[in-house]
């Protein structure tokens, strides 16, 4: 059992916001449901137990194991999955049967390129589905904060790459 207080860190108000009465933005993980704090408190308890709030020392694998008791398996590499069909099929099969959790993040040093595509620097994303139509392989990812939109190929307004067949499958 871990004891925590009910104070959650928020970003400080900027000088121009001093008279603003709107709530400040939470620094930690948070629910999309306004006023729901269990996610933030859960994260606070987890960090207190495992790393005394030094989350830079904590990896995604350690968090998954702590929450789910799943043993991380670094067996999949994106280049291998993209290159070999049998690896792609194995990856998709395990993803669709909920046997794996797949996190992805932006590559350090390519942050501006990522931001141009609608990805947030140093932000983790979850792969929630995978599709293939002909030679086109796509991953559906979820931004847990839901603040930005993908602006690369196959975005919502991309008329060039989306075929009718691919749209039906996705």
End-to-end C-alpha distance for the chain, whole angstroms: 43
C-alpha of 6 from chain center: 25
Write the pLDDT tens digit of every residue in 34-47: 788 887 888 888 88
Query: Which residue reads 């009718």 in tokens?
Result: 164
Write the pLDDT tens digit of every residue in 92-130: 998 899 888 777 777 666 666 667 777 777 677 888 899
Q: Is the pTM of this model over 0.85?
A: no
Q: How many Å apart are CA 60 and CA 136, to the nearest integer?
A: 29
Q: How many Å apart are CA 125 and CA 119, to the nearest integer?
A: 9
What token pair was written down for 117? 């595509």
What token pair was written down for 76? 């999949």
Mean pLDDT (the chain) is 79
Domain ranges of the chain: 15-58, 78-169
Residue 131 neighbours by CB under 8 Å, 6+ apart: 137, 138, 140, 166, 169, 170
Q: How confident is the model at residue 170 (pLDDT cuts 50, 70, 90)?
A: confident
What token pair was written down for 5? 């207080």
Q: Within 10 Å of residue 53's Cβ, how many Cβ atoms?
A: 13
CB 80 within 8 A of CB 144: no
- Looking at the DSSP bridge assignments, the partners of residue 131 are 138
Q: Within 10 Å of residue 84's Cβ, how many Cβ atoms?
A: 12
* pLDDT at 114 (0 to 100): 67
């Amino acid at each position: 059992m871990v004891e925590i207080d009910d104070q959650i860190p928020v970003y400080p108000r900027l000088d121009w916001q001093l008279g603003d009465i709107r709530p400040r933005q939470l620094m930690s993980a948070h629910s999309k449901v306004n006023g729901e704090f269990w996610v933030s408190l859960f994260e606070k308890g987890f960090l207190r137990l495992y790393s005394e709030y030094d989350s830079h020392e904590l990896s995604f694998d350690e968090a998954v194991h702590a929450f789910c008791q799943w043993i991380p398996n670094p067996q999949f590499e994106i280049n291998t999955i993209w290159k070999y069909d049998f690896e792609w099929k194995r990856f998709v099969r395990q993803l669709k049967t909920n046997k794996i959790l797949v996190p992805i993040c932006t590559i350090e040093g390519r942050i501006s390129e990522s931001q141009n595509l609608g990805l947030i620097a140093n932000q983790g994303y979850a792969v929630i589905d995978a599709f293939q139509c002909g030679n086109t392989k796509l991953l559906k990812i979820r931004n847990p904060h839901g603040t930005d939109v993908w602006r690369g190929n196959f975005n919502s307004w991309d008329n060039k790459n989306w075929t009718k067949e691919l749209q039906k499958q996705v």
